[in-house]
Structure 1
Amino acid sequence: MIVRTLEEANQSNRRIVSPEGNWESTRLLLKDDNMGFSFHITTIYEGADFQMHYQNHLESVYCMSGEGEVETLADGKKYPIKAGTVYILDKHDKHILRAFKEMKMACVFNPPLHGKEVHNAEGAYELEAEAITGEEK
């Protein structure tokens, strides 16, 4: 059994802050945990407006708090995001995420992330990013 707290993980190398300053993510479950997916609590900062395109991963996102919208670039549709909303990027959807009020999100990735990923120039995570090491499960 694996047991972790968000509070403890926030004080470790599991907390990653985006170089652009749009978000931070605490990765509670990673590839090395051998569950077949990763699980993160991500904060999207108020005013964030950025494009992503997860070409290598599928993602499900559940909004726990805050307000914003996600726009799918293939068709220009905008979907309001608020507490209780889930959106699922089941087709590697190229999208823009906007935070009108800071949003706390629970995110699941398949395949799982290693832990240190940040978005590349296309807004994707690389498949073989460096793993977080030196921490007990």
Structure 2
Amino acid sequence: MIVRNLNEAEQSDRKIVSPDGNWESTRLLLKNDNMGFSFHITTIYKGADFRMHYKNHLESVYCMSGEGEIETLENGNKYKIRPGTIYILDKNDEHILRAFTEMKMACVFNPPLSGKEVHNAEGAYELDAETIAD
């Protein structure tokens, strides 16, 4: 059994802050936990407006607090995000995420992240980032 506490994880190297200043993510479950997916609590800062394209991962995102929108770049559709909303990037969807207020999100990635990933120039995560120890 694996048991972790969010407050404790936020005080460790499991908390990653994006170099561009758009988000921070506490990675509670990672590749080295051998569950086949990773689980993160991510804060998107108010005013963030950035493009992502997870070419190597599928992601599900559940909004716990805050408000914003996601825009799919394939067709320009915009979807409101507020508490209780989930969006699923099941086709490696290229998108823009906008935070009207600070948003707290629960995120699941498949394949799992190793722990140190931040977005590359294309808005994706690489597959072979440095792993965080337990």
TM score, norm. by length of structure 1:
0.97
- Segments ≥4 residues shifted beyond 2 Å: none
The one-character-per-residue Cα deviations of 1:62-120 (angstroms, maximum 9, x if unpaired) are: 00000000000000000000000000000000000000000000000000000000000
Query: Number of matched residues?
Result: 134
Structure whose residues are more often strand by fraction:
1
Secondary structure at the aligned position of 2:79 is classed as strand
Corresponding residue of 1:104:
104
1-structure distance, mates of 2:59, 2:12: 24
2-structure distance, mates of 1:131, 1:125: 13
Unpaired runs of 5+ residues, structure 1, are none
Following superposition, the deviation at residue 9 of structure 1 comes to: 0.2
Corresponding letter in the other structure for 2:112: P
Identity %, equivalent residues: 81
Unpaired runs of 5+ residues, structure 2, are none
2-structure distance, mates of 1:103, 1:2: 27
Q: Is 1:12 equivalent to 2:7 in the alignment?
A: no
2-structure distance, mates of 1:3, 1:62: 21
Secondary structure at the aligned position of 1:8 is classed as helix
1-structure distance, mates of 2:50, 2:69: 11
Corresponding residue of 1:76:
76
Corresponding residue of 1:45:
45
